């Protein structure tokens, strides 16, 4: 390297700038494709639900696919089925995505990473709560929570169905953030047959009730 090449030369910086601008331009163009749909009626600075739907079609992912959540998370979206221009631009530029194909690949890659990286998953999980509940509410309502759990976990955890049933039977209306957070830990740590559940530990009351419930059922089944 030439001795006075610590700083990029005007030429090189131009190249970088060019590269940058071309990315920004591409991203912006992508934004334009989905934003400002008349059906959404949200103005030129947002992609609305219809736009999102089209985006998903182009990406080839279903609306209940986990990758939707991942996308929202990566873009740090605030409101469901909406992306602001800033969210979109900043997010995609940071990811280095310039086309739909790029986006698709990134999402798939991220999904695979999440399968392995527990702490990242935790971040996504916690994000989901804030994202999934209405903006100015403190708590998420139960049905929404159930939907998101299904999206996030699919069939990974055997206890999820029992949990869902329990919540509905008990007519739980609202899931507090504390409970939401610990549900992940619960599913990750506790066996399907509850063998390693510690009564003395600090699980929220709702979870302890759930465990009680399962145990009672087991007894009833065993007796029958």
Partner 1 sequence: MLLCHHYREETSHVVMMNHRQGGAPSSSGQSAGRMRIRSIPTAMDEKYVTSIWELLKKAIQEIQRKNNSGLSFEELYRNAYTMVLHKHGDRLYIGLRGVIEEHMRANIRPCIEEAIEVKMEVHLLETLISVWNDHTTAMVMIRDILMYMDRVYVSQQKVEPVYNLGLSIFKDEIIRWDLVNERLRREMLDMVTRERQGEQIDWILLKHGSTMLSALGIYEAEFEQHFLSESAQYYKRMGLEFLAENSAAEYVKRVETCIREENDRAQRYLDSSTRAKILAVVDSELIEVHMKSVVEMDGSGVSHMLNVNLLADLQRMYTVFHRVTNGTQVICQAVSSWVRQRGEEITHPENQQEELKKDPVLYITRLMELEERSETLLRDAFQEDKMFKKRIYDDFTHFINLNNHSAEYLTIFLDEKLRKGNRVLREAEIDEAVNRCMTLFRFLGEKDIFEQYYKRALAKRLLTDRSASDDSEKAMVSRLKTECGYQYTSKLENMFKDRELWNTIQAGFRDYLNVYDNRMERDPCEIVVRVLTSGVWPTQNITLTCSLPIHAEQSWKSFQDFYQKKHSGRKLTLNTFLGNADVKAVFFNPLRSANDDSSQQEEPTPSQGPYRPQHFTENHKILNVSTHQMTVLLCFNTKNVFKYSELGDATNITERELQKTMQSLSMGKASQRILVRKGTTAKEIAQNDEFYVNDSFTSKLVRIKVSTIADAKSSTPKEAAVLKERVEDDRKHEIECAIVRVMKSRKRLEHNNLLTEVLYQTSTRFKPTPTAIKQRVEALIERDYLARDKKDPKIYEYVS
Which residues are near partner 1 by CB under 8 A? 176, 178, 181-182, 185, 200-202, 204-205, 208
We find the least distance from the C-beta atom of residue 200 to partner 1, in angstroms, to be 6
Number of alpha carbons in the 13 Å side-chain half-sphere of residue 111: 18
Phi-psi region of 171 (alpha: psi -120 to 50; beta: other; left: phi over 0): left
Instruction: Give the residue with the Cβ less far from partner 1, 135 or 200.
Output: 200
- Of 155 and 200, the one with the shorter C-beta distance to partner 1 is 200
Q: Which is nearer to partner 1, 202 or 224 (CB)?
A: 202
Cβ closest to partner 1, residue 188 vs residue 217: 188
| Rounded-to-integer distance, Cα 80 and Cα 68, Å | 10
| 214/209 Cα distance (integer angstroms) | 9
Instruction: Residue 206: name the closest of 165, 160, 158, 172 by CA.
Output: 172
Nearest to partner 1 of 49, 204 (CB atom): 204
Min. distance of Cβ 163 from partner 1 in angstroms? 17
Using CA atoms, how far apart are residues 157 and 143, in angstroms rounded to an integer?
Answer: 18
Eight-class DSSP state of 43: -
CB of 171 to partner 1, least distance (A): 18
Find the shortest distance in angstroms from Cβ 76 to partner 1.
20
Nearer to partner 1, 32 or 178 (CB): 178
In whole angstroms, the minimum distance from the beta carbon of 35 to partner 1 comes to 36
Instruction: Tell me how far apart the alpha carbons of residues 12 and 6 are, in angstroms, rounded to a whole number.
Output: 11
C-alpha distances out from residue 176 to 5, 133, 172, 183, 189, Å: 57, 11, 11, 11, 20
Q: State the minimum distance, in angstroms, from the CB of residue 198 to partner 1.
A: 9
DSSP string, 146-173: HHHHHHHHTTS-THHHHHHHHHHHTT--
């Amino acid at each position: 390297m030439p001795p006075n090449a610590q700083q990029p030369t005007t030429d090189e910086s131009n190249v970088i700038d060019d590269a940058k601008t071309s990315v920004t331009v591409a991203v912006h163009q992508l934004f334009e494709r989905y934003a400002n749909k008349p059906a959404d009626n949200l103005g030129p600075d947002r992609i609305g639900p219809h736009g999102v739907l089209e985006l998903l079609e182009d990406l080839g992912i279903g609306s209940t696919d986990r990758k939707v959540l991942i996308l929202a998370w990566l873009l740090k979206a605030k409101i469901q089925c909406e992306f602001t221009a800033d969210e979109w631009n900043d997010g995609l530029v940071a990811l280095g995505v310039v086309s739909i194909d790029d986006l698709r690949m990134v999402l798939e890659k991220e999904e695979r990473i999440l399968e392995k990286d527990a702490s990242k998953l935790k971040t996504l999980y916690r994000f989901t709560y804030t994202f999934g509940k209405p903006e100015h509410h403190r708590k998420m309502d139960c049905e929404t929570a159930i939907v998101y759990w299904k999206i996030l976990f699919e069939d990974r955890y055997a206890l999820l169905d029992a949990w869902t049933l329990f919540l509905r039977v008990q007519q739980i209306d609202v899931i507090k953030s504390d409970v939401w957070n610990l549900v992940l830990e619960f599913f990750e740590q506790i066996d399907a047959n509850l063998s390693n559940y510690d009564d003395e530990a600090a699980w929220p009351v709702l979870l302890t009730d759930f465990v009680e419930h399962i145990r009672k059922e087991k007894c009833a089944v065993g007796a029958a």
